Structure 1
Amino acid sequence: MKILFANFILKGNLFMEDLKQGLEQHAEVIWDFEEFWKCENHYDIIHLHWPEFLSYDVQKYVWTTDPFPKELYDKIESCLKHWKKSSTIVYTRHVQYPHLRHDDDYLNLYRMVTSYCDTVVHFANFSIEQFKSWYPEHKGITHVVIPHHNYASIPNNSTRETARKHLKIKSDATVMIVFGLIKEHEKELINKAFSFIPTKNKVLLAPKWKINRRKIGYIRLREWVWKFEKWLVSLNSKRIVDLGFIEDDEAHWYLNAADFLFIPRTNELNSGNITLGCTFGLVVVGKKGSDIGEILDETGNPTFEVGNESSLKQAILNAIELSKEGHGEINKKIAFKEWDVSKIADAYINVMKTSIENKRSL
């Protein structure tokens, strides 16, 4: 079997890197988005992920409000028509739409791309039902659930004790981690969740919580205020924030130091942080509903109703109690047993073979 990964992102995206390595145990895997546009060579499977990452030209419009060019849209559709005839198209549904832009242009792009898929892989059943309700006109698509594989490829070279010592965190502190990029509108929710930890001996680990510059016209004053605020934050032992990008080989310090991981995403379909937290033996807290809530419920982790403070407070209290009871280790066993990369790759290969056979039988 010959598989084409048709997206341009690779370096730094462990989901894609690990899946590619897993699939390579069974098939030839080519990662080259330009092959998608050439429409020349033969591939049994065209594996799509994020439509906005089909090329740099497609992706750059996510950062603007400019109209998506009709000629680019038509070119994508022309390529999809070609591959639909000569190959089997499998799409993994990571998101509902681009995080940065979901106007009609990109909603229509997603609608068009998914209409050419033979099989859609989802991380949970919620996504299947949402997909069908959003695209009732899409017929003949096979839907399957394959879990997000674990992050065992991230180096794990510390223990809870050594990690806390490294970060200068008290051994008996209650530590909440928020991993990944934090958006401005999420900061209030994170602060509220952190406030519900019922002890003063607590720490918020949010490496990518960015201290932004204030809107001050006088540049020198703006820079001085910004640097002063960063300095003040650095003095607060209860908040470890604004550290910038964390390399994969440094992530273990932060994850192993935490008691539970909090997901502040309230509008997204999925979050890889569920899998990340479970891989490192953490209790994970996230919203009810969507794939996030479904997976957390299935694994016995706390969820909260968005906009309901009492629900959020109860979820935080439950997370602390579950952490003390060792539920993080249960999560870890699930991550390594059920979400092993080789096991997930096997599932993908079986789905791809079935999709090819189903298409041939039509």
Structure 2
Amino acid sequence: MKVFIPHKKDRNIYFDEIINRANCEFSFGYFKDYDASFSIVNIQFPEAIFDLAIPSKEQLIELENAIIQWRKNSKLVVTLNDDKSHYDEENKYGDLFKLINKYADGVIHLGQYSVDSYKKDFPSNCKHKVVFHPLYESLNTNTSKENIEEKIKLDFNEKYVVSVIGAIRSLEEVKLMLKMFKALPQKNKLLIVPNMFNFKEIPKFVPYRFRKIYNYWVEKRYCYPLKNEQYFFGYNFIEYDLMVDLVKKASLLMIPRKRNLNSGNLYLGITFDKAMIIPKIGNLTETANLLGLPVIDLEQHNFKKNIKQILKINEKIDFSSDKYQEGKKRFSPNEIANQYESFFKELIKKK
């Protein structure tokens, strides 16, 4: 079975876990590269179709004509990684998402919350299937000797290392992350954020000679009362070998998301059996509940008290127990790949 994904492969390797196991031939490419030999067209990230550029009306018309041609020989499947682009605060990709949804033959949801919330946005004859995000099993077999402490020139010895692995994408997430971290009671806590949102971006009206002062002021404004030695911010995608080392050495992973439908960070933490602070949002709540992991309601007022309660619950979780490890199997890449393949075949049989 040939599957066409009409955009570049995402840097997140989660879909590799499926590609390497499903009995399908996956091809990534420009949407015009399609041919009738493909049984399935699977769109993972709509905004990637035009390489993250906002499509013009003419481009949307061109894409719509292409989709109409696709559906003469293939089934169009949307994997609902999110209901809008992560970086699209102004919903500039809205028309692109609506166009794709309009013609979907099938939708893969990463949780029941997604089905309940977004089924209405698709045609009435569209098939819906819940297929969870897979674990990052390939990373768990990583034997690299890369050392994150050497890379960022910090010593984790006797530190309560707290990390945010995924990219921080907005000032809103910066504020939530720091709020979470400041609420932690550990005095030896150390925050490591490899891929930070540039919340210190300098406005054009700030004179060049004052830029260092501006940077210093903004950082202190948000990070106060933290000391410099209590946190490290990087501003680039972290290589997987270093990321694995950081996850293994971390005492706690935080997921400072407020609006996301899904988050790969959750499945990264599950893969490595890590304690986490998980927000009560989207599909994350369902996955956490299935494994007995605590979630935090971001709307509750006594934030510090709730963080302490979550830490206490995390301390009681036996990640090595048969029950927990058995629960993880429903997210195994083999299981997820089989479900993808089965859903594709079901759609192909459908007239």
Q: TM-score, normalised by structure 2?
A: 0.85
Q: Paired residues, what number?
A: 339
* Superposed CA offset, 1:15-55 (max 9, x none): 233322222xx1222222x3x32453321111111111123
Q: Which residue of 2 aligns with 1:60?
A: 53
Structure-2 change in CA distance of 1:6 and 1:346 (3 Å): same
Structure-2 change in CA distance of 1:193 and 1:121 (3 Å): same
User: Aligned to 2:42, which of 33, 39, 47?
Assistant: 47
Structure-2 change in CA distance of 1:41 and 1:102 (3 Å): farther
Structure-2 change in CA distance of 1:152 and 1:315 (3 Å): farther
* Structural RMSD (CA): 3.1
* Superposed CA offset, 1:110-136 (max 9, x none): 122112111100110000011124x2x
Percentage identity across paired residues of the two chains? 24
The alpha carbon displacement at 1:224 in A equals 6.3
Q: Does 2:90 align with 1:128?
A: no
> 1:39 & 1:193 partners in 2: Cα distance?
46
Q: Give the alignment of 1:1-362 within 5 angstroms.
A: 1-10=1-10, 12-23=11-22, 26-32=23-29, 34=30, 36-56=31-51, 59-61=52-54, 68-101=55-88, 103=90, 106-133=93-120, 135=121, 138-154=123-139, 156-157=142-143, 167-171=154-158, 173-182=159-168, 183-209=170-196, 210=198, 212-215=200-203, 217-223=206-212, 226=215, 236-242=228-234, 244-310=236-302, 312-329=303-320, 333=325, 337-359=329-351
The alpha carbon displacement at 1:262 in A equals 1.3
3-state secondary structure, aligned to 2:108: strand
3-state secondary structure, aligned to 1:86: coil
The alpha carbon displacement at 1:275 in A equals 0.3
Structure-2 change in CA distance of 1:156 and 1:333 (3 Å): farther
Gaps of 5+ in 2: none
> 1:91 & 1:300 partners in 2: Cα distance?
29
Q: Judging by fraction of residues, say which structure has more helix.
A: 1
3-state secondary structure, aligned to 2:86: coil
The alpha carbon displacement at 1:290 in A equals 1.4
Structure-2 change in CA distance of 1:335 and 1:75 (3 Å): farther
The alpha carbon displacement at 1:336 in A equals 5.7
Q: TM-score, normalised by structure 1?
A: 0.83
> 1:286 & 1:147 partners in 2: Cα distance?
17
> 1:335 & 1:164 partners in 2: Cα distance?
33
> 2:77 & 2:164 partners in 1: Cα distance?
32
Letter in 2 for 1:13: N
The alpha carbon displacement at 1:244 in A equals 3.1
> 2:326 & 2:13 partners in 1: Cα distance?
19
Gaps of 5+ in 1: 62-67
CA contact (8 A) 2:200 2:218 kept: no
> 1:127 & 1:174 partners in 2: Cα distance?
35
